[in-house]
Amino acid sequence: MQVIFHGQSCFEIQHDNHNLIIDPFLSGNPVAKTKPEEIKAKWILLSHGHGDHVGDTVAIAKKNDATVIAPNELAVWLSWQGLKAHPMHIGGGHHFPFGRVQLTQAFHGSAHIDEEKQEIVYLGMPAGILLTLGGKTLYHAGDTALFSDMKLIGMQNDVDLAMLPIGDNFTMGPADALLAAEWVGAKQVVPMHYNTFPLIEQDGEAFTQRLEAKKIRGTVLEPGESLRL
């Protein structure tokens, strides 16, 4: 299994004949090395409705005839734009051809913001994503604050890879993400949602050094880099 980081919170997952992408924010992402038209994915997983996570979902889905898996309100909203969408909600799980998806809670917001019209469309609750495929379990925390039920996620799941935000301001910062990593108990942690914009600049290497000091394997991925599980 190959996990490719595309900047911000976007990860592409390739396993056997299945290609998935999570939160595909590529165009408009100043650090992304890959263009939306280069993505070949049949499944798009979304954590919530903010523009830096929905990103290029519509273009990628239409080009690849992909199915979008998202929290219910967001899935319905995207279906109105002509996409195939599978709605889910917090705590619910479902088996797909590639594996199982379960949504966890995340403490954040979720909306489409139209700056020109000064309108905000509420898109339901934000989520984290537990993804199990190829005998591995991945936890994409989405945009979230630290919350104590991360301990339950660690108790109930043998997490091989956790993708945790460290950017601060809008999400957890490094100190809270370090505690989250301990609670989740993942075998490996990749920081995300940082260094895309000045407001969320962080030192990813310093964060992974703090992980290593607690005997947690940390890996910094630059946009375009990948790891194998």
Backbone angles phi, psi at 79, to 5 degrees: -65, -30
CB atoms within 10 A of CB 128: 27
- pTM (2 decimals)? 0.97
pLDDT of 76 reads 98
Q: Are 181 and 216 a contacting pair, CB within 8 Å?
A: yes
pLDDT of 168 reads 98
9 falls within a domain: yes
Side-chain-side CA neighbours of residue 85 (13 Å): 20
Alpha helices in the chain (DSSP H): 51-54, 57-64, 72-79, 150-156, 174-184, 204-213
228 falls within a domain: no
Please state the rounded mean pLDDT for residues 48-71: 97
Please state the rounded mean pLDDT for residues 2-12: 98
Question: At 131, is the pLDDT very low, low, confident or very high (cuts 50, 70, 90)?
Answer: very high
Residue range of the domain that includes 187: 2-221
CB atoms within 10 A of CB 190: 23
229 falls within a domain: no
pLDDT of 106 reads 98
